[in-house]
Protein backbone atom coordinates (compact mmCIF):
# COMPACT_ATOMS: atom_id res chain seq x y z
CA UNK A 1 0.00 0.00 0.00
CA UNK A 2 1.29 3.44 -0.92
CA UNK A 3 1.24 5.69 2.14
CA UNK A 4 0.79 9.42 1.62
CA UNK A 5 2.00 11.74 4.37
CA UNK A 6 0.73 15.32 4.34
CA UNK A 7 2.33 18.28 6.06
CA UNK A 8 1.81 20.43 7.92
CA UNK A 9 -1.12 19.13 9.93
CA UNK A 10 -2.57 22.62 10.27
CA UNK A 11 -1.78 25.83 8.44
CA UNK A 12 -2.99 29.15 9.83
CA UNK A 13 -2.65 32.07 7.43
CA UNK A 14 -4.23 35.42 6.63
CA UNK A 15 -6.31 36.27 3.56
CA UNK A 16 -4.11 37.08 0.58
CA UNK A 17 -1.21 34.94 1.81
CA UNK A 18 0.20 31.96 -0.03
CA UNK A 19 -0.43 28.44 1.25
CA UNK A 20 1.88 25.55 0.41
CA UNK A 21 0.68 22.05 1.26
CA UNK A 22 2.92 19.03 0.94
CA UNK A 23 2.16 15.39 0.16
CA UNK A 24 4.96 12.82 0.32
CA UNK A 25 4.54 9.30 -1.04
CA UNK A 26 6.14 6.21 0.53
CA UNK A 27 7.32 5.03 -2.87
CA UNK A 28 7.89 6.44 -6.29
CA UNK A 29 4.73 7.03 -8.24
CA UNK A 30 4.25 8.80 -11.49
CA UNK A 31 3.52 12.39 -10.61
CA UNK A 32 0.60 12.14 -12.98
CA UNK A 33 -1.40 9.90 -10.68
CA UNK A 34 -2.19 12.28 -7.88
CA UNK A 35 -5.22 14.36 -7.00
CA UNK A 36 -6.06 17.01 -4.43
CA UNK A 37 -9.42 17.53 -2.73
CA UNK A 38 -10.97 20.19 -0.53
CA UNK A 39 -13.47 19.24 2.14
CA UNK A 40 -15.53 21.61 4.26
CA UNK A 41 -17.42 20.48 7.37
CA UNK A 42 -20.55 18.50 6.58
CA UNK A 43 -19.81 18.39 2.86
CA UNK A 44 -18.53 15.79 0.44
CA UNK A 45 -15.00 16.31 -0.84
CA UNK A 46 -14.51 18.50 -3.90
CA UNK A 47 -11.93 17.65 -6.55
CA UNK A 48 -9.44 20.49 -7.04
CA UNK A 49 -6.55 19.01 -9.02
CA UNK A 50 -6.05 15.74 -10.85
CA UNK A 51 -3.13 14.22 -12.72
CA UNK A 52 -0.95 16.26 -10.35
CA UNK A 53 -1.48 19.64 -12.01
CA UNK A 54 -4.76 19.79 -13.96
CA UNK A 55 -7.43 21.93 -12.36
CA UNK A 56 -10.86 20.36 -12.23
CA UNK A 57 -13.80 22.11 -13.82
CA UNK A 58 -14.68 25.37 -12.11
CA UNK A 59 -11.64 25.50 -9.85
CA UNK A 60 -10.09 29.00 -9.58
CA UNK A 61 -6.58 29.44 -10.93
CA UNK A 62 -5.26 30.39 -7.48
CA UNK A 63 -5.14 26.61 -6.89
CA UNK A 64 -2.21 24.84 -8.51
CA UNK A 65 -0.50 21.48 -8.22
CA UNK A 66 3.10 20.49 -8.86
CA UNK A 67 5.80 18.05 -7.83
CA UNK A 68 7.89 14.99 -8.62
CA UNK A 69 7.47 11.26 -8.12
CA UNK A 70 7.36 11.31 -4.33
CA UNK A 71 6.93 14.95 -3.34
CA UNK A 72 3.80 16.73 -4.45
CA UNK A 73 2.59 20.20 -3.62
CA UNK A 74 -0.71 22.05 -3.63
CA UNK A 75 -0.34 25.82 -3.70
CA UNK A 76 -3.10 28.31 -3.00
CA UNK A 77 -1.60 31.53 -4.27
CA UNK A 78 -3.86 34.08 -2.58
CA UNK A 79 -5.95 32.75 0.26
CA UNK A 80 -9.57 33.77 0.51
CA UNK A 81 -11.84 33.23 3.53
CA UNK A 82 -13.76 30.47 1.73
CA UNK A 83 -10.56 28.43 1.38
CA UNK A 84 -10.84 27.42 5.03
CA UNK A 85 -11.10 23.62 4.80
CA UNK A 86 -9.25 20.33 5.06
CA UNK A 87 -7.22 19.37 2.01
CA UNK A 88 -6.41 15.79 1.04
CA UNK A 89 -4.05 14.32 -1.51
CA UNK A 90 -4.86 10.99 -3.13
CA UNK A 91 -2.82 8.63 -5.29
CA UNK A 92 -4.16 6.38 -8.01
CA UNK A 93 -0.86 4.95 -9.15
CA UNK A 94 -1.67 1.59 -7.58
CA UNK A 95 -4.91 -0.37 -7.92
CA UNK A 96 -5.59 0.29 -4.24
CA UNK A 97 -5.99 4.03 -4.05
CA UNK A 98 -5.03 5.85 -0.87
CA UNK A 99 -5.52 9.27 0.69
CA UNK A 100 -3.22 11.35 2.82
CA UNK A 101 -4.36 12.18 6.34
CA UNK A 102 -5.23 15.78 5.43
CA UNK A 103 -4.01 19.32 6.08
CA UNK A 104 -6.34 21.77 7.78
CA UNK A 105 -6.12 25.32 6.45
CA UNK A 106 -7.36 27.99 8.82
CA UNK A 107 -7.88 31.59 7.74
CA UNK A 108 -7.00 34.12 10.44
Partner 1 sequence: QVQLVQSGGGVVQPGGSLRLSCVVSGFTFSNYAMHWVRQAPGKGLEWVAVKSHDGSSEYYSDSVRGRFASSRNNSKNTLFLQMSSLRPEDTAVYYCAKEVGVAGAVGGLDYWGHGTLVTVSS
Cα 79 to Cα 93: distance, rounded to the nearest angstrom: 30
Residue 66 CA, distance from chain mean position:
10
The residue from 17, 45, 69, 75 that contacts partner 1 (CB under 8 A) is 45
Cα 49 to Cα 38: distance, rounded to the nearest angstrom: 10
| Shortest Cβ 88–partner 1 spacing (Å) | 5
The residue from 11, 21, 29, 35 that contacts partner 1 (CB under 8 A) is 35
49-108: which residues touch partner 1 (CB under 8 A)? 49-51, 54, 56-57, 86, 88, 90, 92, 95-102
Give which of 55, 105, 57, 101 is closest to 79, Cα–Cα.
105
- 103 CB neighbour count, 10 Å cutoff: 22
Q: What is the dihedral of CA 54, 56, 59, 62, to 10 degrees?
A: -10
The residue from 20, 39, 53, 75 that contacts partner 1 (CB under 8 A) is 39
The residue from 21, 25, 33, 73 that contacts partner 1 (CB under 8 A) is 33
Nearest to partner 1 of 33, 63 (CB atom): 33
Residue numbers of the site for partner 1 (CB under 8 A)? 1, 33, 35, 37, 39, 44-47, 49-51, 54, 56-57, 86, 88, 90, 92, 95-102
Amino acid sequence: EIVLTQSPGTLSLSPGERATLSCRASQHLSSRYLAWYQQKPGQAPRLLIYDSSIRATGIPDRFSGSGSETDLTLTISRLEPEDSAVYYCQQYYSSAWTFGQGTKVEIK
